């Protein structure tokens, strides 16, 4: 389920690791996904009844939920109640992503390292919390906001204005954490976890981390600068304690635990959890996966992760650069034609995942903010970057923009 570049990347990885394309259906999908597998554009992935009826009728063996909205809407619970294997946590367990204050409570109970935070329900409380921590200010909406709910700023007035916009959701004011960011995904069957490979996301809209936060403008994997025992450390100090605490709460977490981390001088800190694959990190993480993806997700969904083969990843690196439409993330652009995609995809090192595309009168058009995710693999980051940016130059979408500095630091 889903319709973004993440879901396109999942489909490509399923096929690449052995699932026949004819066995896959995506609801609703997009123009790119529809070129590879059957799509059900009319099926609403957020409607538990519709999804369950479809799954029963078509004898679905494994349901994979891409975005957070169906999780929050209880689609996993409805499918599970009918005995269908689902990769995606229950409504209750998805609160790890849906509510930042719930996530903080779980981390506190599980002894997981994270930034100190104040929960605020009035602007007066926000103002006090801002003064308590001092600048830079970190203000977070306590609910789903498509990657746009967080502001990090030195400008106290801007921090307050952001809080005012989201005050009805509740606000979390957090201490500023300084250091590089890492996204690390764990598959979980509710009891144990299996780590995938680390990636880095570029959240700001413009080069050199300028501009507003977005859903993600690019990513790369692996991260050659990480300490050797990093994945094991995150598994034992963060992922396992959280999975155990969720089980203790009667809300076992079955699906993908996305750990958003900052490596501070005082150690690793959690900045957020998500209850699903990250976008655009999935495009690079799964591009490097060699092991059967459907096998891994099925084992997680059915509570047998401990009997699963450990995921193996290619030694090649992967980078992805997101092509965004004019005005993203601040304002919307009209649907516009996209040209040059075939030419860009002719390079064997390139895959293009569609995010917001549709066919209109026989022509491919953009339909939203993040339009395409160009993925390149190669032996080195320098080579991967060269291919990615050459491909982007071949793609034409009026007014579009993309970051030029994805993985630049590791390519030096």
Which positions lie near ligand GLY, rule CB under 6 A?
Answer: 147, 201, 216, 274, 278-279, 281
Please choose, from the candidates 97, 96, 104, 157, the residue with its C-alpha nearest in 3D space to the C-alpha of residue 126: 157
Considering beta carbons, is residue 217 or 392 the nearer one to ligand AMP?
217
Mask 210-249, x = binds ligand AMP (CB under 6 A)?
---x------------------------------------
C-alpha R_g of the chain = 20
What 3-state class would DSSP assign to 72?
helix
Task: Choose among 376, 7, 406: nearest CA to 219.
Answer: 406
Q: Is 397 in the site for ligand AMP (CB under 6 A)?
A: no
Encoding tokens for residue 46?
A: 């957020």
CA–CA gap between residue 280 and residue 282 (Å, rounded): 5
- How far apart CA 100 and CA 143 sit, in angstroms, is 7
Is residue 150 involved in binding ligand AMP (CB under 6 A)? Answer: yes
Interaction pattern, residues 250-289, with ligand AMP; x per rule: CB under 6 A = ----------x----------xx-----------------
Write down the least CB distance from residue 260 to ligand AMP, Å: 5
Tokens of 277: 């694959």
DSSP string, 325-388: -TTTTTS-----B-B-HHHHHTSTTEEEEESSEEEETTEEEE-SSEEEEEEEEESSHHHHHHHH
Cα–Cα distance for residue pair 358/365, rounded to 1 Å = 5
Site for ligand AMP in 117-146 (CB under 6 A): 138, 140
Is there binding between residue 152 and ligand AMP (CB under 6 A)?
yes
Backbone angles phi, psi at 256, to 5 degrees: -105, 120
Looking at the Cβ atoms of 292 and 325, the one nearer to ligand GLY is 325
Q: Find which of ligand GLY, ligand AMP, none residue 325 binds, CB within 5 to 8 Å per kind.
A: none
> What is the rounded distance in angstroms from the CA atom of residue 150 to the CA atom of residue 172?
9
Nearer to ligand AMP by Cβ, of 261 and 375: the residue is: 261
Query: Nearer Cβ to ligand AMP, position 68 or 235?
Result: 68
Q: Which two tokens stand for residue 111?
A: 């002894």
Options 41-49, 172-180, 184-192, 276-284: segment touching ligand AMP (CB under 6 A):
172-180
Q: Near ligand AMP by CB under 6 A, which window of 84-92, 163-171, 174-182, 298-306?
A: 174-182
Q: Residues touching ligand AMP: how many (CB under 6 A)?
A: 14
- Strand-pair partners of 185: 258
> What is the closest distance, in whole angstroms, from the C-beta atom of residue 147 to ligand GLY in the complex?
6
Nearer to ligand GLY, 48 or 216 (CB): 216
Nearer to ligand AMP, 183 or 308 (CB): 183
SS3 state at 276: coil
Q: What is the smallest separation between the CB atom of 201 and ligand GLY, expressed in angstroms? A: 4
Residue 150, binding choice from ligand GLY, ligand AMP, none, Cβ under 5 to 8 Å by partner class? ligand AMP
Q: Which residues contact 351 (CB under 8 A, 6 or more apart)?
A: 12, 287, 345, 374, 375
Per DSSP, helices labelled H in 223-292 are 230-234, 240-248, 281-285
CB atoms within 10 A of CB 330: 11
Which of ligand GLY, ligand AMP, none sits in contact with 115, Cβ below 5 to 8 A by type? ligand AMP
- Taking the least distance from each CB to ligand AMP, the nearer of 66 and 260 is 260
* Minimum separation from the CB atom of position 279 to ligand GLY (A): 5
Output the smallest distance, CB 20 to ligand GLY, in A.
28
Q: How far apart are CA 326 and CA 400, in angstroms?
A: 5
Q: How many helices and strands, by DSSP H and E, does the chain display?
A: 14, 21
Regarding 177 and contact with ligand AMP (CB under 6 A), the answer is yes
Q: Using CB under 6 A as the criterion, which residues of the chain lie in contact with ligand AMP when the complex forms?
A: 115, 138, 140, 150, 152, 174, 176-177, 181, 203, 213, 260, 271-272
């Amino acid at each position: 389920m889903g319709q973004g570049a993440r879901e396109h990347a999942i489909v490509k990885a399923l096929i690449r690791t052995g699932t026949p394309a004819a066995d896959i259906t995506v609801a609703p999908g997009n123009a790119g996904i529809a070129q590879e597998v059957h799509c059900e554009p009319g099926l609403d992935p957020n409607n538990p009844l519709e999804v369950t009826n479809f799954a029963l009728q078509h004898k679905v063996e494994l349901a994979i939920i891409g975005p957070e909205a169906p999780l929050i809407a209880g689609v996993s619970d409805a499918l599970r109640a009918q005995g269908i294997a689902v990769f995606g946590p229950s409504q209750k367990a998805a609160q790890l992503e849906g509510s930042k204050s719930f996530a903080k409570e779980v981390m506190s109970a599980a002894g997981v390292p994270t930034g100190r935070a104040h929960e605020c329900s009035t602007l007066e409380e926000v103002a006090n919390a801002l003064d308590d921590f001092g600048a830079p200010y970190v203000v977070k909406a306590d609910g789903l906001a498509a990657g746009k709910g967080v502001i990090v700023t030195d400008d106290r007035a801007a921090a307050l204005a952001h809080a005012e916009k989201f005050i009805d959701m509740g606000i979390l004011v957090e201490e500023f954490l300084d250091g590089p960011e890492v996204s690390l995904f764990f598959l979980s069957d509710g009891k144990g976890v299996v780590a995938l490979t680390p990636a880095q996301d570029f959240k700001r809209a413009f080069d050199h981390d300028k501009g507003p936060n977005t859903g993600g403008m690019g990513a790369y994997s692996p991260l050659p600068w990480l300490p050797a025992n990093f994945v094991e450390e995150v598994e034992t100090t963060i992922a396992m304690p959280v999975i155990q605490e969720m089980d203790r709460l009667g809300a076992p977490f079955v699906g993908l635990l996305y750990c958003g981390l900052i490596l501070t001088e005082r150690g690793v800190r959690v900045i957020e959890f998500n209850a699903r694959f990250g976008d655009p990190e999935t495009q690079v993480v799964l591009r490097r996966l060699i092991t059967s993806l459907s096998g891994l997700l099925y084992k997680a969904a059915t509570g047998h992760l401990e009997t699963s083969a450990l995921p193996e990843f290619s030694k090649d690196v992967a980078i992805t650069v997101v092509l965004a439409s004019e005005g993203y993330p601040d304002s919307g652009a009209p649907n516009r034609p996209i040209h040059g995609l075939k030419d860009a995809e002719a390079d064997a090192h390139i895959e293009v995942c569609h995010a917001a595309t549709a066919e209109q009168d026989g022509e491919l058009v953009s339909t939203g903010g993040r339009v395409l995710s160009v993925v390149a693999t190669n032996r080195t980051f320098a080579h991967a970057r060269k291919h990615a940016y050459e491909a982007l130059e071949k793609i034409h979408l009026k007014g579009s923009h993309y970051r030029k500095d994805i993985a630049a630091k590791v390519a030096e």
